[in-house]
Amino acid sequence: MKFVDEAFIDIAAGDGGNGCVSFRHEKYKEFGGPNGGDGGRGGHVFAVADPNLNTLVDFRYSRRHEAKRGEHGMGSDMFGAAGTDITLKMPVGTIITDAETGEVLYELLNPGEVITIAKGGDGGFGNLRFKSAINRAPRQKTPGWPGEKKNLKLELKVLADVGLLGMPNAGKSTFITAVSNARPKIADYPFTTLHPNLGVVRVGPEQSFVVADIPGLIEGASEGAGLGHQFLRHLQRTRLLLHIVDLAPFDDAVDPVAQAKAIVNELKKYDQQLYNKPRWLVLNKLDMVPDDEREARVKDFVKRFKWKGPVFEISALTREGCESLIHAIFRHVQSEQRTENEPVEVDPRFAGDAPA
């Protein structure tokens, strides 16, 4: 299926039905009185977070979504029926913004979460509502209220614990294939990955985390060069970034340190908050480096790159070093989750029962 992570839609909730002016007409009852009912409310537009979806492709080809209007009120005290609601299924991680103002309206973060994105209009009053002791034959009614209409932008940010960074052909797709259930396309040319791939890494029977692989970055990505810049936002919700570096490029003229620095610069230009996320260095393709040169090449890279964070040496192709990296990632993700779930300390002055 084609991956689409951005779409524009127009939604319209249903208008409310009009109220009715009607009087009882029965034999031998000259003054039957008013019996015009209210109109029904218009249908709402809901959005639900569906964990079975991972793309916004359906909204690329179906832009207009309208709920039904409410029925008009009728005589004999009959109120109009409410308009039929519609529910739009969206992937978990969808951000809904106003296409005109850019204001973020909603975020679907939890599977099964339901939100109302457009409310139907209320129904109008029939003349039954206006009956009183001094107005026994009212002929007033009110029209139904219009439903909300919005132009929305949908933006999908995939939800993952770990995000992979790197130049094209750094071995990200091979790595996610080696450690998870994802099966992305792998080839010996750059830009093989054209859309984000998600993989679940199983550490134990009930222990796992999610890895996201995006297309490789190149210098100038923050200004739009290459493909990776289109998907950098998918890394903004991750807890950890793995910067994968090809330590044995085919071209001897290519300097891995220069490439790694270019990636870091693009990350900083794109989003300072993303740049400040925890980031680990993963030196890949060690199977291409002779055994007696590995230690010296790794030390040289770390020294010239001026890196002081965690360093892991792996070969995604042979899976050498992947097991220890996976367990280290899982421990980090677990610690992050515990920190997020820690109870908030309450000031003793406000620890009492809330006022009614």
Predicted pLDDT at 256: 87
CATH code, domain carrying 265: 3.40.50.300
Q: Is 51 among the domain residues?
A: yes
> For 26, which DSSP code?
B
Report pLDDT for 11.
Answer: 95
Q: What is the pLDDT of residue 270?
A: 77
pTM over 0.85: no
Q: Are residues 151 and 186 in the same domain?
A: no
What is the pLDDT, as a whole number, of residue 85? 94
Question: 168 and 146: one domain?
Answer: no
The pLDDT of residue 350 is 34
| Same domain assignment for residues 285 and 193 | yes
Residue numbers in the chain where pLDDT is lower than 50: 1-2, 184-193, 218, 220-228, 344-356
**Domain check: are 48 and 32 in the same one?**
yes
356 in a structural domain? no
Q: What residue numbers bound the domain in which 283 lies? A: 162-341
DSSP per residue, 276-324 = TS-EEEEEE-GGGS-HHHHHHHHHHHHHHHT--S-EEE-BTTTTBTHHH
pLDDT of residue 205: 74
Contacts of 295 (CB under 8 A, 6+ apart): none
Contact of 280 with 241, CB cutoff 8 Å:
yes
Q: Write the burial class of residue 7 (CB in 10 Å: 0-12 exposed, 13-18 middle, 19+ buried).
A: buried
Residue 347 maps to a domain: no
User: What does the pLDDT look like over 73-103, one tens digit per residue?
Assistant: 998 889 999 999 999 999 888 899 999 888 9
d(CA 127, CA 17): 14
Whether residue 337 lies inside any domain: the answer is yes
- Provide the pLDDT for residue 222: 44
Q: How far apart are CA 165 and CA 282, in angstroms?
A: 10
How many domains does one find in the chain?
Answer: 2
Same domain, 131 and 267: no
Same domain, 170 and 308: yes
* Bridge partner list, 114: 48
Mark which of 128, 156, 184 sits at the end of a domain: 156
Q: Please tell me whether residues 95 and 30 are part of one structural domain.
A: yes
